[in-house]
Structure 1
């Protein structure tokens, strides 16, 4: 498929998926800082589990200072039902320290700055920038985005950074964050890893993988 054809295909894919899914993450948050904390907790954990934990966490901790006022043990206890909670507690406290020292307690607004925070890679940074600030600096490629992109013939790459580069070439910049949000939801609920739900898929007629 030529690049121009892929660009038209992406526009149609977005149009169809927008009818079904909201352009948002399933993580609950009210502020950029809350989203940062939720994303740090979300590695190797479901969004539903993270939301269960943050419902209480965000009542207790409002600012970076709040996470540094308590002991490591207390924070660990508050997030102990999450996988790898000890490491995540360290990431949270370290990130909060950096926010206070370098950014006046505010979440920075670039991939370069965000990826200097512990536990935040390019995927997470792109997610935070778009969903907290509406900034399209990259496309967050998680396992769902990668799978959906390959099945739709938008990329043949395996590595997230190469998939992202392919998608950025054929997607309008204003749609980068939206594409990721929609692909994550579609991959989570319809274009699942095993036995994709072809009968429920609004992209079925566009998908070169439908016969596989």
Structure 2
């Protein structure tokens, strides 16, 4: 039996990346962060809460959270049970409440309650990995330290033939290698918008996709 050809095998990822970036800019001129926030601290908290949770759910929870605990000092000093109660619906609420308070405490102790503008300093905070740090640095401070790879970005990068690797770390490395640094932050926001509205996980709406003419549709089942 002949082996099935990989539809991405013949694609040169660099010109493909240029096509993707250009088309996304036209389709989604406003590269918006889906997490509703005011300032770096709120974005950091919201991003920590978004782990294993939808942004829509986080946006329902954070108004009350920020009303009761508006800054690092208030969050660090809060009763743990009160924080758990507010974030309960985001899942893993005990671990998230613990991480949020530990993060806020470290901000108070090491950074005078302010969110640092440094990748290493951010990832040293409890509950903050590279993805979260990239979100905060890119969206709150306009610093392109990497490409945020969530489930949407990971799926679309593969479908579009931009990477054949699987882990978020490797996908980020591949995207950073073929996309200009000035586009890193907005690329993630735009891919996420496309992934939520058009390129759905199970039933992508290829007929409505602005990239249908050059997308290899890697992993997308075709009709017989």
Common fold: TM-score over 0.5: yes
How many residues were matched structurally?
Answer: 211
Tell me which residue corresponds to 2:19.
12
Q: Which TM-score applies when normalising by structure 2?
A: 0.88
Runs of 4+ in 1 over 4 A off after TM superposition: none
Contact 1:91–1:118, Cα closer than 8 Å, also in 2: yes
Higher RCO, Cα 8 Å, sep 6+: 2
- Runs of at least 5 residues in structure 1 that lack an aligned partner in the other structure: none
- Runs of at least 5 residues in structure 2 that lack an aligned partner in the other structure: 1-7
Tell me which residue corresponds to 2:133.
125
Contact 1:110–1:137, Cα closer than 8 Å, also in 2: no
Q: Secondary structure at the match of 1:140?
A: coil
Q: Secondary structure at the match of 2:27?
A: coil
1:119 Cα deviation after fit: 1.7
Contact 1:198–1:204, Cα closer than 8 Å, also in 2: yes
CA distance in 1, matches of 2:196, 2:127: 23
Alignment deviations for residues 161-186 of structure 1 (CA, whole Å, 9 cap, x no partner): 11111111111101111111111221
1:5 Cα deviation after fit: 4.8
CA distance in 2, matches of 1:84, 1:204: 38
Within a 5 Å distance, the mapping from 1:12-51 to structure 2 comes to 12-21=19-28, 22-51=30-59
Contact 2:16–2:161, Cα closer than 8 Å, also in 1: no
Within a 5 Å distance, the mapping from 1:27-176 to structure 2 comes to 27-176=35-184
Q: Which has the larger radius of gyration?
A: 2
